[in-house]
Amino acid sequence: MTYVKGLEGIVAAETKVGHVDGDKGQLIYRGYWAKDLAINYTFEEVAYLIWNGQLPNHEQLNEFKEEMKAHRVLPKNIVALMDCLPRDTEVMSALRTCISALGDPSYSWPPTKNQAVALTAIAPTIIAYWYRKMNGLEVVEPNENLDHVANYLYMITGEVPDSSLVKALSAYFVLTIEHGMNASTFSSRVVASTESDMVSAICGAIGAMKGPLHGGAPSGVISMFQEIGSAENIEPWVRQKLENKEKIMGFGHRVYRTHDPRAEALKEVSKQISDDNEWFDFIVKIEDTTIRLLNEYKPGRKIYTNVEYFAAAVMKAVELPADLFTPTFTASRLVGWTAHVLEQSEDNRIYRPQSSYIGYTPVEQKQ
């Protein structure tokens, strides 16, 4: 047996959901370029694609939207549960707890698309409810007249959002829907492989996403923008970081060895919705300068901006608070997780890798 730390490079499943090619900078959802989907389609259309393998026609899309809306309202037991949580409970912890409490007998094996829709639809309501409650704000109920992403922003802010901001956040949602066999997706498939229920699999995925090495938020990138401050400080700041061998937030990815297609799509969307062109030019100049200096200090490493860099631009535009970055990521990734759980159930075999024992062996007693 061969030991590979972190299972890097090990193929653990076959999937039709999505494909990541880090060397070519490709991200595919069900046969479509994720970048094109993010720019040209809504979250509901892409979620339908992920779960059904094809884009919806007009009638299918309207029916699907109504199904999503029907699952937005919080059950009374979930409201009662959140009312009992300590006020300083993190949003991700509150979300994990509430999703777990949804695990009634109807969520039995095998998982269903209806369960996937229900969990995806209710997650933004849980996030928004808890965010407002923990900050002493009046809870905002779902708005049936708004689509999924617009309603999410509405429940957080209490105001119907501008369409350009909805487009920006919708692009972010689409680009984070699915990303191969990452830690949280793998966790969901491992739990599902035991023939446990959909809720348990999603709770496992949320637990993995909660870790800072996986669900890292773009708050570090926003802090970097603020620390640099002005265009004349960019090159001295970046050089100092590189000479001190410090990490520069928003650059590099474990998978991509060229431009991250998600970053390219968000860059294009950010350009479309940014009213502050001077600010946008500033972050583009940071990107260009950093990539040039990375090539100077680390030739051949091929380090480029990742999705978090331009996600920071989108988060700034929609004015989402930092403690909602990872929960928002989670709200979109629920689609990918549930699709993988469904796929796992269709051709299941329980995951049972081996471990290599490196401890001591008892000394045999002589007779």
219-275: per-residue pLDDT in tens?
778 889 889 999 999 999 999 999 998 888 888 766 666 777 888 888 887 777 666
Q: Which residue has the tokens 């409650």?
A: 133
Q: Nearest to residue 168, comparing CAs of 278, 38, 333?
A: 38
Integer Cα distance of 48 and 100 in angstroms:
24
Q: Nearest to residue 250, comparing CAs of 178, 319, 311, 184?
A: 311
Could you say which of 253, 264, 287, 343 is catalytic?
253
CB-CB contact of 77 with 101 (8 Å):
yes
List, by residue range, all CATH 1.10.230.10 domains of the chain.
219-318
CATH superfamily of 219-318: Cytochrome P450-Terp, domain 2 (1.10.230.10)
pLDDT at 286: 92
pLDDT at 69: 97
For residue 277 the two structure tokens come to 């062109």
For residue 105 the two structure tokens come to 């007998």
Integer Cα distance of 312 and 225 in angstroms:
9
pLDDT at 41: 96
Question: What kind and span of H or E run contains 59?
Answer: helix 58-70
Which residues lie below 8 Å from residue 178, measured CB to CB, with a gap of 6+? 17, 18, 29, 34, 50, 185, 333, 335, 336, 339
List, by residue range, all CATH 1.10.580.10 domains of the chain.
5-215+325-346
pTM for the predicted model, two decimal places = 0.89
Intervals of the chain under pLDDT 70: 216-217, 253-257, 273-277, 364-367
Active site residue 253: yes
In the chain, the DSSP E strands lie at 18-21, 26-29, 32-33
pLDDT at 256: 64
Integer Cα distance of 198 and 116 in angstroms:
8
CATH superfamily of 5-215+325-346: Citrate Synthase, domain 1 (1.10.580.10)
Could you say which of 44, 264, 287, 308 is catalytic?
308
178-200 residue pLDDT tens:
999 999 999 999 999 999 999 99
pLDDT at 199: 96
Integer Cα distance of 296 and 290 in angstroms:
10
Q: Which residue has the tokens 């059950």?
A: 75
